[in-house]
Amino acid sequence: MAGFVLVLMIAFLSLLNGCSTTHRAACPPANGLRGSVCGDVDGRPGQERVGIDRRGSAIWLVVRFAHHSVATRLATEDSVDYSLAGVNGLAALDRAPGLEIVVTVHHGASTAFGDLFRVENGALARIRIPGFGGEFAYEGSVTHFNVIDCARPQSGLIWISGYGLEDSSHYIQERRLYRLAGDRLAQVRHESSRVSVPTAGRFPEFAEPQPFPHCLVVRNSRIQ
């Protein structure tokens, strides 16, 4: 009898493990979403699919759950090229359940501009970023360079830094630390320095690949 009970317990535990693995591994199909990634964005068991949907000239960020989807339209202007808009990946910005969504919205000649989103109460909420119309900037050219990164994964602290050419041998480097405060970034500290060309971008947030080189848990290699 004891042996029979043991067999039943093993079978039951195996069934539970199998169900758990299947549920956690499940990700809704892409079904036309461009450059999508999968991960936990709502803090619940399982994965969601996050991608871009184009409807005519409109661009939508879409999060697809097992039985429904939520979407928000990304801001567009007629004079801006949005052909390279895409999901960079999913980042661990703070200790709250669920990963934040990092999106490149548009590109300039050398600089890209992006947005941060999170899922709150079943809907997509944008995290407002100071400057650049609420977006962040990254990459750049010979004359300037911009970056964004976590101070530490899940810390809620974010560096937004950059440098611009002052003359042929020096850059002015700006370094700002922000705290994630609800639906926005609040500035904590600001540093400015004049650095020689060889020492520009010496801080860790200038690492590659951008954006968020140190806390992007799920990285979309298609748009890097």
pLDDT in tens, 161-182: 999 999 999 999 999 999 999 8
Total domains in the chain come to 1
Q: Does the residue 200 lie in any domain?
A: yes
- pLDDT of residue 224 exceeding 70: no
90 in a structural domain: yes
Phi and psi dihedrals of 61, rounded to 5? -90, 125
- Average pLDDT value over all residues in the chain: 87
Contacts of 71-74 with CB under 8 Å at 24 or more apart are 71/124, 72/117, 72/124, 72/126, 74/103, 74/105, 74/115
- Does this model's pTM top 0.75? yes
Residue 3 lies inside a defined structural domain of this protein: no
In a domain, 120, yes or no: yes
Is position 124 within any domain? yes
pLDDT of residue 44: 92
Look at residue 24 and tell me whether its pLDDT is greater than 80.
no
Pairwise pLDDT comparison (25 vs 55), residue with the higher score = 55
Residue 4 lies in a domain: no
Note the pLDDT of residue 80: 72
The residue range of the domain holding 208 is 82-223
Q: What is the mean pLDDT of residues 23-42?
A: 87
Residue type present at position 170? H
